[in-house]
A and B are shown apart, each in its own frame.
Chain A
Amino acid sequence: MDLLFANLAHGFGVALSFDNLFFALLGALIGTAIGVLPGIGPVATISLLLPITFGQPATTAIIMLAGIYYGAQYGGSTTAILLNLPGEVSSVVTTLEGYKMARNGRAGAALAIAALGSFFAGSVATILVAASGPLLTEVALSFGPADYFSLMLLGLIISAVLAQGSVIKSVGMVVFGVALGLVGTDVQTGQQRFTFGVPELSDGLNFAAIAMGVFGIAEIILNLERPEVREVLTTKVGSMFLTKEEWKRATPSVLRGTLIGSALGILPGGGASLASFGSYMMERKMSKGRAEFGNGAIEGVAGPEAANNAAAQTSFIPLLTLGIPSNAVMALMVGALIIQGIQPGPRMVESQPDLFWGLICSMWIGNAMLLVINLPLIGMWVKLLQVPYKYMYPAILSFCAIGVYSINNNVFDVYQTVFFAILGYTFSKLKMEPAPLLVGFVLGPMMEEHLRRAMLLSRGDPSVFIERPISAVLLLIATLALGLMLLPGLRKKKEAAMAG
């Protein structure tokens, strides 16, 4: 306990430095902005800003990128409630009850409980990350190469199983990502693989080019093809104070949302959107006000909003303790760390205490900032929606182009981005989910390394993966997850949940 406090004190010392405070605020502001704006999500934004973080210290960079992710959860709820327009996937369910509440003249209350619930959930999740980090790290240090391989395989399979759309196609996308990760120099023999003699490819495909092309630029093209809908704010925000009755109904929902969100965030493949769906389903079945669902029940806002914010933070746990990204945003964080020369893994808590504890404390500070940014300034954020998309996309493109160039000062990376934009566009036309691809790309090379090491240690005997208990359990869970999702009944349920 004492050690935890000492560590947290150290973390606050790091997080409260001027630079880190400034960049946490900047991240939270950018996150809120892109959360409000539909058509640009945290994945695209973080990949866009990845090159910019290059020159910053690692801690500051990660603090800012994390701010974008959880800031987006706050911002997404604003437009969901006021305009029936989910800025992010994770606030789709907020539109269901939130917009009804706004229609009933309780927009202010809905916004207030969304922000307060998020803040509460964020604080709890922060403590959870702080407490479980060192614990899980200890467990992780007893992992052998075989266990790591199985853990990564589990992560890959679950991220595919929980992705939207067809499971088998998502598994295909994961393997596609692993395949893309093979390009470059083989670490052990130094042989060039799939580089076609191009020296720029000997370090592998450019991670930022893939992320920006598939998520940023392909998204711009798709948005341009869709006719633009402009919503005008007609609802009045009204009083932000909750009535006693509303407090009484919302409090248990926030608690439940925090719980389920924290749990679903840790899960590989989980994350903010899964958590908000999960919490909404739970509130519809369990809360006292379930009869009112569909007519503006405050439980339907409080629960999911708490859940998505809790999950946005606990999804850092597998990354920080095991070095395994659980979703596309975390895959980008791995990319950011590797650009900084830090290999994510269980030794990170010890070797990078500034980063680990500083990030945790800055999450809490960032959440407090977001409360201030959001509640009094809501009018300003809604104004942002009046900027037409035709003025936004040239800006996004410019940032992409300069950003991707500046990583290696090489225009080849710009052309790589063009190539991946075409690929990303094709994916979306064929309904292939791109998020698992990114996770596969990041995990692929690590998996190969652990596989080789494990097989070398076992003298080429593959039974090591089922003889080691940790590995066996992980593989069993992976098989079960895959098997269950292939059953027609469960698949339908998932589709229903994803459709809201």
Chain B
Amino acid sequence: MRINAKDFWSGILLLTLAGVGLWLNLDHTLGSARRMGPGYMPMMTFWVLLGLGAIVLGISFFSGQDSLERWAKLDFVTLFVGIGVTLGAYPIIAAVPALTNNWYPLGIALMLGLGVMAVSPGWRKLALVLAGMTVFGILLDQGGLMLALAALIVVAAFADPTHRPLGVLGCIVFLLVLCWWVFIYELDIRVNVWPVF
């Protein structure tokens, strides 16, 4: 039978979210309809979501074929290894005393996972654009805005293979000046501009 894969996975996504939500909601007191506790609205929301997910899943068997884009074998491998690396690295990094503040464990773990995903061509653009954001987050506090921004642009530039070094350099210079003018000179946001040692 030819199912609508997009609807099928949409249904699974909604069902998973509803299931996890209902499970987490067990911690909250429901209260009564008259005096609703913190768990009442979540309970209703996630039950509705569960129902909708089931309907979407059911419809996927009848709504005609609509398959997902083909995944290469490497895409599967890097996705699962990437998620595994992120989840595995987080507690390890969090155990290092020097890295406990400023969400470093989360940032570095994300960076490692995205790095793994960037190996396969199917995820490269996604992974590099997001790695650019992540490296910005990691560097911002100690490295300052200028360094973090330059790193973001360099990493993200790899997502487009037509970028040339000179063009990226031009991009960095232009955006550093623009962002300094907008965010530091005009808006005066509180952030280190240059590296702190």
A and B assemble together: yes
Q: Does B85 interact with chain A (Cβ within 8 Å)?
A: no
Q: Does A480 interact with chain B (Cβ within 8 Å)?
A: no
Q: Known interface pairs A182-B41, A406-B191. Does A411 touch B107 (Cβ–Cβ under 8 Å)?
A: yes
Bound: A172/B151 CA distance, A:
38
Residues of chain B contacted by A191 (CB below 8 angstroms): 28-29, 38
Q: Known interface pairs A179-B45, A406-B187, A451-B41. Does A168 touch B52 (Cβ–Cβ under 8 Å)?
A: yes
Cβ contact within 8 Å between B35 and A456: yes
Cβ contact within 8 Å between A394 and B171: yes
Q: Does A429 interact with chain B (Cβ within 8 Å)?
A: yes
Cβ contact within 8 Å between A189 and B106: no
Cβ contact within 8 Å between B134 and A414: yes
- How many residues of chain A are within 8 Å of chain B by beta carbon? 62
Bound: A410/B68 CA distance, A:
37
Residues of chain A contacted by B175 (CB below 8 angstroms): 394-395, 398
Cβ contact within 8 Å between B162 and A398: no
Nearest residue (CB) in A for B170 is: A391
SS class, residues of chain A in contact with chain B: helix
Cβ contact within 8 Å between A179 and B46: yes
Query: What sequence of 0s and 1s flags, for each residue 230-255 of chain A, a beta carbon within 8 Å of any chain B beta carbon?
Result: 00000000000000000000000000
Residues of chain A contacted by B132 (CB below 8 angstroms): 397
Minimal beta-carbon separation of A219 from chain B (angstroms): 11
Minimal beta-carbon separation of B34 from chain A (angstroms): 3
Bound: A132/B141 CA distance, A:
49
- CB contact between B129 and one of A217, A410, A411, A430 (< 8 Å): that residue: A217
Bound: A456/B33 CA distance, A:
8
Residues of chain A contacted by B87 (CB below 8 angstroms): none
Q: Does B92 interact with chain A (Cβ within 8 Å)?
A: no
Cβ contact within 8 Å between B129 and A405: no
Cβ contact within 8 Å between A409 and B133: no
Query: What sequence of 0s and 1s flags, for each residue 315-331 of chain A, a beta carbon within 8 Å of any chain B beta carbon?
Result: 00000000000000000
Nearest residue (CB) in A for B140 is: A411
Residues of chain A contacted by B33 (CB below 8 angstroms): 455, 460, 462
Residues of chain A contacted by B14 (CB below 8 angstroms): 172, 176
Q: Does A493 interact with chain B (Cβ within 8 Å)?
A: no
Residues of chain B contacted by A477 (CB below 8 angstroms): none
Q: Does A171 interact with chain B (Cβ within 8 Å)?
A: yes
Minimal beta-carbon separation of B22 from chain A (angstroms): 11
Q: Does A421 interact with chain B (Cβ within 8 Å)?
A: yes
Residues of chain B contacted by A460 (CB below 8 angstroms): 32-35
Bound: A406/B136 CA distance, A:
13
Query: What sequence of 0s and 1s flags, for each residue 420-451 of chain A, a beta carbon within 8 Å of any chain B beta carbon?
Result: 01100110011110000000000010001001
Nearest residue (CB) in B for A412 is: B103
Cβ contact within 8 Å between A452 and B36: yes
Q: Known interface pairs A189-B37, A406-B191, A415-B110. Does A182 touch B45 (Cβ–Cβ under 8 Å)?
A: yes
Query: What sequence of 0s and 1s flags, for each residue 93-134 of chain A, a beta carbon within 8 Å of any chain B beta carbon?
Result: 000000000000000000000000000000000000000000
Interface centre among A166, A405, A411, A448 (most CB of B within 10 A): A411
Query: What sequence of 0s and 1s flags, for each residue 374-393 of chain A, a beta carbon within 8 Å of any chain B beta carbon?
Result: 00000000000000011101
Nearest residue (CB) in B for A194 is: B24
Cβ contact within 8 Å between A398 and B42: no
Residues of chain B contacted by A186 (CB below 8 angstroms): 38
Cβ contact within 8 Å between A421 and B130: yes
Q: Known interface pairs A182-B41, A417-B133, A462-B33. Does A398 touch B28 (Cβ–Cβ under 8 Å)?
A: no
Q: Does A400 interact with chain B (Cβ within 8 Å)?
A: yes
Cβ contact within 8 Å between A176 and B59: no
Minimal beta-carbon separation of B75 from chain A (angstroms): 12
Cβ contact within 8 Å between B149 and A398: yes
- CB contact between B42 and one of A52, A182, A217, A414 (< 8 Å): that residue: A182
Q: Does A10 interact with chain B (Cβ within 8 Å)?
A: no
- How many residues of chain B are within 8 Å of chain A by beta carbon? 75
Q: Which of B45-71 contact A (CB under 8 A)?
A: 45-46, 48-49, 52-53, 55-56, 59, 63, 66, 68-69
Bound: A400/B163 CA distance, A:
21
Cβ contact within 8 Å between A418 and B160: no
Q: Does B97 interact with chain A (Cβ within 8 Å)?
A: no
Cβ contact within 8 Å between B141 and A411: yes
Q: Does A401 interact with chain B (Cβ within 8 Å)?
A: yes
Residues of chain B contacted by A178 (CB below 8 angstroms): 45
Cβ contact within 8 Å between B190 and A394: no
Residues of chain A contacted by B42 (CB below 8 angstroms): 179, 182, 193-194
Minimal beta-carbon separation of B82 from chain A (angstroms): 11
Residues of chain A contacted by B115 (CB below 8 angstroms): none
Nearest residue (CB) in A for B41 is: A448
Cβ contact within 8 Å between B38 and A390: no
Bound: A391/B166 CA distance, A:
12
Cβ contact within 8 Å between B13 and A459: no
Cβ contact within 8 Å between B157 and A401: no
Cβ contact within 8 Å between B34 and A456: yes
Bound: A455/B41 CA distance, A:
12
Q: Known interface pairs A172-B53, A179-B21, A429-B68. Does A406 touch B189 (Cβ–Cβ under 8 Å)?
A: yes
Q: Does B120 interact with chain A (Cβ within 8 Å)?
A: no
- CB contact between A431 and one of B10, B21, B156 (< 8 Å): that residue: B10
Minimal beta-carbon separation of A218 from chain B (angstroms): 9
Q: Does A494 interact with chain B (Cβ within 8 Å)?
A: no
Residues of chain A contacted by B182 (CB below 8 angstroms): 52
Bound: A225/B34 CA distance, A:
52
Residues of chain B contacted by A217 (CB below 8 angstroms): 129-130, 133
Bound: A398/B38 CA distance, A:
38
- A398-B153, A455-B33, A456-B34 given; name 6 further pairs at CB < 8 Å: A52-B187, A179-B21, A189-B38, A397-B129, A421-B133, A422-B126
21 contacts between A and B (CB under 8 A): A168-B59, A169-B10, A172-B14, A186-B38, A191-B28, A191-B38, A224-B125, A224-B159, A394-B152, A395-B171, A398-B149, A398-B175, A400-B133, A411-B137, A411-B141, A415-B107, A422-B126, A432-B10, A451-B41, A456-B35, A460-B32
